[in-house]
Structure 1
Amino acid sequence: MVAIRPAQASDLPAISALDARLTGLDKPDYWRDMLAPERNLLVAESEAGKLLGFIAGEVRAWEFGQPAAGWVFAIQIEPKQRERGVASALFEALVTRFREKGVTRVRTLVDRKDHLILSFFRAQGMVAGPSLQLDMDLA
């Protein structure tokens, strides 16, 4: 059984450690900022209280004239817990929060080469959106 709940400050070391292990980047300040009231940082934990994964997002509105939408910033699952419904449960919990805030769209950004996360979001019903990301190298 998996429990989904809002993250607490005491969860941050485990969230940051999981993210660092999977991305190769240690960013504890970023995760601390995700506890802000306007954001949604949710965790999935086992019956024993072990962190299985997390998802982060918030409702954003009016950038470049776009109406309010729920944005998914990050999702990470312990590799041994993948394909057990943990990520889908986290995603649905976040989507429920977005709906409660009155938004009707969910958006995210993914690297087009990251087939694992692309497959996950497509399995959740997400498709290419109306916006085009533009990028410029400042190096």
Structure 2
Amino acid sequence: MANPQSKQSERKCAVRLAKATDIPQVIAIDTENTGLSKAEYWEDLFERYNNRSTDMDDDTQPKSVKRYRFFLVACDGDTVLGFIIGEVRAWEFGSPPCGWIFAVGVRNNIRQGGVGHVLLDALNDRFRKAGVNKVRTMLARDDTLIMSFFRSQGMMAGPFIQFEKDL
């Protein structure tokens, strides 16, 4: 069932590349969602993904590696409502170039109001501009909230199996 405050997020929000001034709000959203504060992690991601001289919001084709990486935020004025991060990866384990989503978060009090959908659509548009036609992600089996979100957006299990080993 939708959060009683979710109607707030049905208002229009603007999606754009994250700015350095957005990172404290991104950290707060992630801390609220996960219970862990990872400020250094988010600051590093911002530097790797958005520290570039050109903007992917224009209509040019991406040319450099950094232009295949996207750290986007959905905003209402100066308030960050949510974020999504992804990149184009190519030829890992024989897979042709595809978009990979590896982080998404929305303020808890406005979940189920469409912000995540708007963010995913904006990221998918950038992936299409980069020339890919498939998007993937990986998540924990027991993360039913994010699994439900991705399924509601038309995503389903893919052809790969993840393996791991304790070191």
Tell me what 1:83 maps to: 112
Larger radius of gyration: 2
Deviations 1:31-81 (A, max 9, x none): 2333325220111111x3211110011001112221111000110000111
Deviation, 1:137, is 2.3
Cα RMSD after superposing both structures: 1.3
Q: Does 1 or 2 have the higher relative contact order (CA < 8 Å, sep 6+)? A: 2
- Residue in structure 2 matching 1:59, options 61, 69, 88: 88
Distance 2:86 2:70 in 1: 5
Give the TM-score, by structure 2 length. Answer: 0.77
Distance 1:33 1:58 in 2: 15
Distance 1:108 1:65 in 2: 16
Q: Counterparts of 1:7-46 in structure 2 under 5 Å?
A: 7-35=18-46, 36=49, 37=52, 38=66, 39-46=69-76
Distance 1:102 1:34 in 2: 23
Tell me what 2:5 maps to: none
- Residue in structure 2 matching 1:120, options 136, 145, 149: 149
Deviations 1:84-119 (A, max 9, x none): 100000000000000000011100001111111111
Unaligned runs of 5+ in 1: none
Q: Which moved more, 1:84-93 or 1:13-22?
A: 13-22
Distance 2:129 2:93 in 1: 24
Unaligned runs of 5+ in 2: 1-11, 53-65
Give the TM-score, by structure 1 length. Answer: 0.92
The 3 A distance-change label for structure 1 pair 13 and 85 is same
Regions of 4+ moved over 6 Å: none
Tell me what 2:58 maps to: none
1:94 matched to 2:123: yes
1:104 matched to 2:115: no
